[in-house]
Structure 1
Amino acid sequence: MDRVRNSSPADASALLPFTATNLTEGWSFKQVHDDESGTGWLPVKKVPSMVHQDLIDNQKLDDPFVDFNEIKAEWIAKTSWLYRLHLSVPERHHDSRIALAFDGLDTLAHVRLDGETVLKCNNMFRTYRVDVTDLVKNKSEDHVFSLEVELDCALLRAREIERAHPEHKWITFNGEPARMAIRKAQYHWGWDWGPQLMPSGIWKPVRLEIYSARIADVRVDVDISRDYETASVRASAEVESETSELELKFFVRRVGKTIASSVVEVKDGSSVTTFEIGQPALWMPAGYGSQNLYEIVTVLTYKGRELCSETKTFGIRKAELVQEPDAVGKSFYFRVNGVDVFCGGSCWIPADSFVTNITPKKYRAWIELMVAGNQKMIRVWGGGIYENDVFYNACDELGVLVWQDFMFACGNYPCHPELLDTIEVEAVCNVRRIRHHPSVVLFAGNNEDYQVQESNGLTYDFADKDENNWLKSDFPARYIYERLLPGVIASEAPSIPYHPGSPWGDGKVTFDPTVGDLHQWNVWHGTQEKYQIFDSLGGRFNSEFGMEAFPHLATIKSFVTDPKDLYPQSHVLDFHNKADGHERRIATYLVENVRPVSDLPGYIHLTQLVQAEALMFGYRGWRKQWGENRRCGGALVWQLNDCWPTISWSICDYYLRCKPSYYALARVMAPIAVGVKRKHHDWSVSHARMPALSEWELWVVSSKMEDTMVDVELRFISVGIGKEIKPKIVKKGVTVNANGTTNVLAGTIDNVNEDSHVLAARVFVDNEIIARDMDWPQPLKYLAFPKRNVKVEIRDDKMHVTVDRPVKCLVFEEREGCHLSDSAIDLAPEDEQVITVRGLNSVEVPLSWTYLGAGEQ
């Protein structure tokens, strides 16, 4: 903050109100040395922007997302780029200040105004404000300024820093080790689901600000009484000014009405006031209550004249991370306003390799998908970016809880003083920006850096609390995660819980299932366990787990231009799958579970079915464990989304086309869901010999806050002929425990004397079906699928589906503009299911569909 002197102008009109001009248009750019592109100055459509997109807009670069074009774009990351804008500075006043505000420059930027250096930037994640008052006021009123932003080559500079610190152990899981040397989005360097493009640019807005005084920061701290009947709202603001006799007016508003206000004199550049709110409207996650939001409006005045104002939304809520000793070890779950919340949800990566292309509409569409899929939490992964404000706004408004990683991922980060200094500024900057969002309920120090420490035998003695020892060790980043970042949270956002890393648990090994959170990758990676036992592999909170699947055919055709490459193991398809060993891993899970096919549409369906099954087995079991004394506090699938059109672990692809797993998880996460399963039998170990008897169990889970009376039905239906092989079981008047699990039925299957059959469970409330589940004999490849009669009858915006025999994973086409209420469904005879289709024009061709075994008939 600049506070040069305190003085009072002769009258209020002498002070200029704060004005900000967004510098979005009129920019041009070129390669600094211009020795490869040979393009000279080219126009920029708009700022924010990135070099790759600007080259595409000027037809100087083919889309890197298509075919092998990623390779053709590699040269862009090996050079420096220059952006230029000619601008005039409007009204100037002898008492006003003039500043350039940069919300984000990626990454090593040198900013010049009329050739004079005004800023050198080394951190993509922080904001910069540069006072250029003296430089501007020395020029005439009609002077046209030249603003230049030179973006140095981050790739080469990072490698130089790496070489300059040979004493550090540069160890990573993904990308090259040099990525840890600078504060740039780590996924830019390539990841096991994304391309190596190394974009750069003016990635956030640039503004020219003119003011006599401005509000530099507004903070809201909320304290709620134990009975939630009253809330104390402390509002504080920091002011930058050279003028005295300023006042701040604070207004608390709800639904457009002012419910409290206060006027406070500005002293020593700050003001603070407290409001007591009776009967507060609480903010709750989706499915647990309303997403009530308040506004704090702060107005800076001088002698009654408004100079500057700022508005922030906030919610009245208390968020707790409950970690208490119990019979298993130590709990790990979230409690919001006294309500325990099972946090089923997803991990989030940046939704584009070029984040400036993600529109507010697309951000909101992603969060709307989560809510429609009954997901409660999204984890902003530590190798991407601190997300755009509209992302957090959407989470606030739609009720999705946010687990926010700090931007460190899969590496042993160095801690030389210059880097620590910029990391601290970065942390303060971003915590201040997002701390008012009620959706943000956790800050976590990093992603998998403690796993890097473990796997490489780096020094970590949890009992040693000497911070100097940490910095001198070969794992110095412990200082960041256990001293620097928690210190920032304690100072800037003390009401939001902090967790040192993901995974992490009280200094124990990161794979300890009794404490902390867990990344369970022994399905797919690691020991490649059968996905049917996913639930037995979990911990207290499963913050990563996953299974790969191909996207829908329309998405594949968006990046494969030659029809001859449209087969399962084509060169182009393998190039777009960045996961190490993906060929073997996909093949393993397919050959273990389903019969092989060679055509691409059939292959896509099988990979999607396996993903849906795998994730369902995990989610379903872990949600059951939630009701067993909070044994499992949540499950966040890796991953919700993609940053380009690809084959990955996402459950919805780059174009927001939902894979079958999205729908499978939505059913498991419904307010009331039923689960039925037979005990796992490892057919590989037993050489495909079935046991004489198989045990099965049926349970119902609920997230409702009150007990629910239901009826439960279980049918035993032959896979081959579609008939019930024995009488169904009906249990009426079952009380389903609130926010918990209710065990309902159990029994055995006679594998010797009974046909192969499914267990088809349904739950009714007032004779209406509210939940279904179906357990199939495993593995599915052993089942014969004689011809099924599948009928899809369209009536208005609904598809009525019936079958004569059990059907596995009936998947509908994901057409752009259409939204399905369900898909990837299992069906039983005499149980019509109705799918609502939103956005399908009546004159369009009906959606296509397929199911397991359809190609065999």
Structure 2
Amino acid sequence: MAPRTVIPVNKGWEFRQADKSEDESKFLPVGQFPTNVHLDLLANGLIPDPFIGKNELDVQWVGEAQWLYRTTFSAPAVASGSKAVLAFDGLDTFATVTLNGTVILETDNMFTPFRHDVTSLLKEGDNELSIHFDSAYLRGWKLVEKYPEHKWGVWNGDSSRLAVRKAQYHWGWDWGPALNTCGPWRPINLEIYDARLADLSFDNTVDESLTSADVKATAVVESVGSRADKVRFEVTLDGKDVASETVHVASGVATASFHVSKPELWYPVRYGKQPLYQVKTILLCGDEAIDEVTKKIGLRRAELIQRPLKDQPGTSFFFQVNNVPLYCGGSDWIPADNFIPRISREKYFDWVRLVAEGNQFMIRVWGGGIYEEQAFYDACDEYGILVWQDFMFGCGNYPAWPELLESIKQEAIENVKLIRHHPSIVIWAGNNEDYQYQESEGLTYNYEDKNPDNWLKTDFPARYIYEKLLSDVCADLIPNTFYHPGSPWGAGRDTHDPTVGDIHQWNVWHGTQEKYQNFDKLVGRFVSEFGMEAFPSVKTIDAYLPLGKDDPDRYPQSSTVDFHNKADGHERRIALYLVENMRYAPDPLEQFVYSTQLMQAECLASAYRLWKRQWKGPGREYCGGALVWQINDCWPVTSWSIADYYLRPKHAYFTVKREMAPVSIGITRREHRHPKDKYTRVYIDTSARIEVWGSNLTLEDLTVDVVYRAWDVETGEQTFERTEKDVPLPENRSTEISAFDVPVRNPGKGEENRTVFAAYLVNKSGEQVARYVNWPEPLKYLHLQKPKELKAALTEDGKTVEVSAEVPVKGVAVECEDDEVKFEDNLVDLVPGEVVSIGVRGAKEGTKIETSDFIFRPSTAVFTIQATADSTAKIAATNILGDG
């Protein structure tokens, strides 16, 4: 019996427009493989880059055309009793596949891998393979017309996307362009075998004591003619043997069970290591190895805890890994490019590393994109990032005719099988916001009706997909991973109910457009979406402007810059939050970009800080996590991302990083009224009241000193200092520390509105473990002073910039033209008498760290640092919102 042979079909591909004659559209070479049509048209210079200027509008015809791909590949002779299969890992989307003149496959689902037996058609030597791709956009509209009884409707894109099993964001979203792709977007292989390992799965159980684990490995064997009779499982960790067993195949299945004493457990980042056991599975015929599959698994005990709470209604919603309750601060994830085949494995790792370095623990794979590449989940496994995985449904009323349900079922089965071994995945959710769409449109939903057949007869038939079809697939294939029917979802309660399940909190930006200072009133048990827009880096804007820095549209309200913001009403909303909070001007561009990023940074930091305050320990997990919308972009755009398309962090990335540090301190400032006496409601004075709490997300109790200081923002004079000794901060929770009126020299005269207040946590070794500076708000009312002694020094090893000033400075930002230079912190607040250290990576001799040429203009807080050969630094700056 011969070993399985895998021959990549990845060479010699060419393409042309299929709905034109060959005289009008000749075959041209593809630019890469796997590929899609836009990449190939770009590689051949036939379309402009859709990411530049308004070129998106000029390439819409591509998604409405038909395209033909073909290649010739060489195949060996197929021995008698062997089988030849063409395996298509991903065809986007409506594809007709022809081998040597015979149609072998017709597909209608981008997400589903397909396999076809070509034994009888394959020739020894050259074989011609062609794939005809129809327009998913036009086919979608034909399906809409075919089923007029369905109540079609969407948020984002158009209704045709609901009928097509394809990445929904290809129709355009409120952060992405409409670029409807097609093509062989994942690998194609020719496989020849007598038998193969068709599937490899694991059922892992870690004992509650964490002292032992049981691993059940199951291999599914496909045999042709002569039969493979044994499977050998070999388990190793860091190259060392852990266990092995050879078992016989029975009815096409081989199963081995392993007991692991004192297992090396997989933990989320910060809480432990991420050891990955390697399981090599070898298919044997006698003693001959004929196939092999290797996967890496992690042993961990993962749970979603929903239980009654003390003192508040509803139930908790938080994740627990290896008996450790986790406050899951993290981000939502969209595809990292509109053209998925050009996302490299390295780029996936760069993105996930950015998340881990930002003190985030979870990524939610959003339901309008794709089931991600293995590289994405590999990176999450290695960096210790938990994954919330949506199924691919979002923001609409999906139909459910029988053929579509069958396609969705196969899609779910295949994709769950592909990624279920990854220890990072801790929850699957049925959709993104489809229950919210149902509520907004008044579609029929009776939670008490538990008969799935009835659901298909309503105007919300997709309930059958989320609560029956997908639920059954998960129960069968991943019974130990929690399944959640949707996001947000609260067991039939209104999706805005903050006391149960998860919520999407969009009453800041969308909805009622609340002030972000009120995020403490907008909390939920788990907030799986919230956000605030900000412009991307000026470098990113210059990259998409056709003429770069010389482009006449290089200003914030230009039509090209507006084109690169897909959110409805973004002009009004950005302006609203800017004008409520700070002084700003649209010119120069650099200053406006800075202002929007400062606003986003303040907004998101407030949410994380205030919601983490509600993580109060056992029985009081009133908020179990917050996932910001969103970590990334799919093209250069103004959006809610905290890092732009080129992986350039916005300032919010750093404020979120500080809020999710292992130990942090929180402060909020509230209006406090002093009554005249206990018998009347007449007030004699109004002042600001400071509330202080500490968040200890480590697993050790801490005792700290809390140091308080205050300054007058106009004079820079210190007005207050006090220390509280031996303050306990119990492990893994937030603890209230103190509350008092803002200390000022002339109380009752409004000077609390010009007092900046700082608090520090200091451990018993005298080390500062947390710091936070609280400012009167709105910032626009402050008369901040331009510092005369703003200093910066690059340390001798070139790894740190130390910054200080003699007056309070809000939001000092450092930048570098060289993208290889990375800052470990940014947008720092300065107060007199202390030095703030900012880590630097990638600086070399002569590295120039600088900002644009708008330094010294009002309302900026950026400066130039020139790192010279003798490791000195020069600096120039002016104060945010300042009068200088």
| TM-score, normalising length: structure 1 | 0.95
Structure-to-structure mapping, 1:399-798, within 5 angstroms:
399-562=384-547, 563-599=551-587, 600-627=589-616, 629-679=620-670, 692-726=686-720, 728-749=721-742, 750=747, 752=749, 754=751, 756-765=754-763, 766-789=765-788, 790-795=790-795, 796-798=798-800
1:751, distance to aligned residue in structure 2 (A): 5.2
2:875 is the counterpart of 1:853: no
1:538-577 CA distances to partner (integer Å, 9 max, x unpaired)? 1000000000000110000000124211111000010110
2:251 is the counterpart of 1:268: yes
User: Partners in 2 of 1:336 and 1:577 — Cα distance?
Assistant: 39
> What amino acid maps onto 2:394 in structure 1?
A
Evaluate the alpha carbon distance shift between residue 157 and residue 374 of structure 1 in structure 2; reply closer, same or farther with a 3 A threshold.
same
Evaluate the alpha carbon distance shift between residue 177 and residue 751 of structure 1 in structure 2; reply closer, same or farther with a 3 A threshold.
farther
2:59 is the counterpart of 1:73: yes
Question: Conserved in 1, the CA contact under 8 Å of 2:100 and 2:121?
Answer: no
User: Partners in 1 of 2:639 and 2:685 — Cα distance?
Assistant: 36
Matched with 1:804 is 806
Question: Conserved in 2, the CA contact under 8 Å of 1:328 and 1:631?
Answer: no
1:794, distance to aligned residue in structure 2 (A): 1.8
1:732, distance to aligned residue in structure 2 (A): 2.3
1:36, distance to aligned residue in structure 2 (A): 11
Matched with 2:19 is 33
2:385 is the counterpart of 1:388: no
1:852, distance to aligned residue in structure 2 (A): 5.3
Evaluate the alpha carbon distance shift between residue 106 and residue 655 of structure 1 in structure 2; reply closer, same or farther with a 3 A threshold.
same
1:516-543 CA distances to partner (integer Å, 9 max, x unpaired)? 1000000000110000011220100000
Matched with 2:155 is 173
1:707-751 CA distances to partner (integer Å, 9 max, x unpaired)? 01222111111111111112x121222221100112212101245
Question: Conserved in 1, the CA contact under 8 Å of 2:509 and 2:532?
Answer: yes
Where 2:456 maps in the other structure, the secondary structure is helix
1:303, distance to aligned residue in structure 2 (A): 1.1
User: Partners in 2 of 1:59 and 1:245 — Cα distance?
Assistant: 51
1:74, distance to aligned residue in structure 2 (A): 0.5
User: Partners in 2 of 1:555 and 1:428 — Cα distance?
Assistant: 39
1:176-195 CA distances to partner (integer Å, 9 max, x unpaired)? 01100010000000000000
User: Partners in 2 of 1:511 and 1:17 — Cα distance?
Assistant: 56
1:753, distance to aligned residue in structure 2 (A): 5.6
Evaluate the alpha carbon distance shift between residue 680 and residue 46 of structure 1 in structure 2; reply closer, same or farther with a 3 A threshold.
farther
1:836, distance to aligned residue in structure 2 (A): 1.4
Where 1:301 maps in the other structure, the secondary structure is strand
Question: Conserved in 1, the CA contact under 8 Å of 2:197 and 2:220?
Answer: yes
Evaluate the alpha carbon distance shift between residue 159 and residue 803 of structure 1 in structure 2; reply closer, same or farther with a 3 A threshold.
same
User: Partners in 2 of 1:751 and 1:173 — Cα distance?
Assistant: 50
Q: Of 818, 821, 833, which aligns to 2:824?
A: 821
Question: Conserved in 2, the CA contact under 8 Å of 1:101 and 1:206?
Answer: yes
User: Partners in 2 of 1:681 and 1:448 — Cα distance?
Assistant: 39
Question: Conserved in 1, the CA contact under 8 Å of 2:85 and 2:192?
Answer: yes
> What amino acid maps onto 1:846 in structure 2?
I
1:505, distance to aligned residue in structure 2 (A): 0.1
Matched with 1:207 is 189
Question: Conserved in 2, the CA contact under 8 Å of 1:532 and 1:680?
Answer: no
User: Partners in 2 of 1:181 and 1:108 — Cα distance?
Assistant: 12
How many residues were matched structurally?
A: 832
Q: Of 276, 283, 308, which aligns to 1:325?
A: 308
2:196 is the counterpart of 1:223: no
Question: Conserved in 2, the CA contact under 8 Å of 1:299 and 1:308?
Answer: yes
1:38, distance to aligned residue in structure 2 (A): 4.1
Question: Conserved in 1, the CA contact under 8 Å of 2:811 and 2:880?
Answer: no
Q: Of 188, 201, 219, which aligns to 2:170?
A: 188
1:627-686 CA distances to partner (integer Å, 9 max, x unpaired)? 25100000000000000000000000000000000000000000001111212699xxxx
1:596, distance to aligned residue in structure 2 (A): 2.5
Q: Which runs of 5+ in 1 are unaligned?
A: 1-14, 683-688
1:162, distance to aligned residue in structure 2 (A): 0.3
User: Partners in 1 of 2:750 and 2:46 — Cα distance?
Assistant: 69
Question: Conserved in 1, the CA contact under 8 Å of 2:672 and 2:689?
Answer: no
Evaluate the alpha carbon distance shift between residue 178 and residue 643 of structure 1 in structure 2; reply closer, same or farther with a 3 A threshold.
same
User: Partners in 1 of 2:879 and 2:424 — Cα distance?
Assistant: 39
1:37, distance to aligned residue in structure 2 (A): 11
Q: Higher mean Cα deviation, 103-112 or 224-233?
A: 224-233
2:144 is the counterpart of 1:145: no
Task: Work out the percentage of aligned pairs sharing the same amino acid.
Answer: 48
Question: Conserved in 1, the CA contact under 8 Å of 2:785 and 2:882?
Answer: no
Question: Conserved in 1, the CA contact under 8 Å of 2:66 and 2:133?
Answer: yes
Matched with 2:866 is none
1:311, distance to aligned residue in structure 2 (A): 0.5
Evaluate the alpha carbon distance shift between residue 209 and residue 691 of structure 1 in structure 2; reply closer, same or farther with a 3 A threshold.
farther
Matched with 1:6 is none
| TM-score, normalising length: structure 2 | 0.92
Question: Conserved in 1, the CA contact under 8 Å of 2:787 and 2:879?
Answer: no
2:344 is the counterpart of 1:345: no
Where 1:692 maps in the other structure, the secondary structure is strand
User: Partners in 2 of 1:40 and 1:626 — Cα distance?
Assistant: 63
Question: Conserved in 2, the CA contact under 8 Å of 1:541 and 1:634?
Answer: yes
Matched with 1:278 is 261
2:28 is the counterpart of 1:42: yes
Q: Which runs of 5+ in 2 are unaligned?
A: 674-682, 852-861, 864-877
Question: Conserved in 2, the CA contact under 8 Å of 1:535 and 1:619?
Answer: no
User: Partners in 1 of 2:646 and 2:66 — Cα distance?
Assistant: 31
Where 2:571 maps in the other structure, the secondary structure is helix
Question: Conserved in 2, the CA contact under 8 Å of 1:602 and 1:855?
Answer: no
Question: Conserved in 2, the CA contact under 8 Å of 1:25 and 1:45?
Answer: no
User: Partners in 1 of 2:571 and 2:21 — Cα distance?
Assistant: 40
Question: Conserved in 2, the CA contact under 8 Å of 1:690 and 1:751?
Answer: no
Evaluate the alpha carbon distance shift between residue 655 and residue 847 of structure 1 in structure 2; reply closer, same or farther with a 3 A threshold.
same
1:777-805 CA distances to partner (integer Å, 9 max, x unpaired)? 01000001222232222222221100111
Matched with 1:686 is none
User: Partners in 2 of 1:218 and 1:740 — Cα distance?
Assistant: 40
Q: Higher mean Cα deviation, 787-796 or 45-54?
A: 787-796
1:308-335 CA distances to partner (integer Å, 9 max, x unpaired)? 0000111111111111122331110001
User: Partners in 2 of 1:296 and 1:797 — Cα distance?
Assistant: 41
Matched with 1:111 is 97
User: Partners in 1 of 2:684 and 2:513 — Cα distance?
Assistant: 22
Question: Conserved in 2, the CA contact under 8 Å of 1:106 and 1:201?
Answer: yes
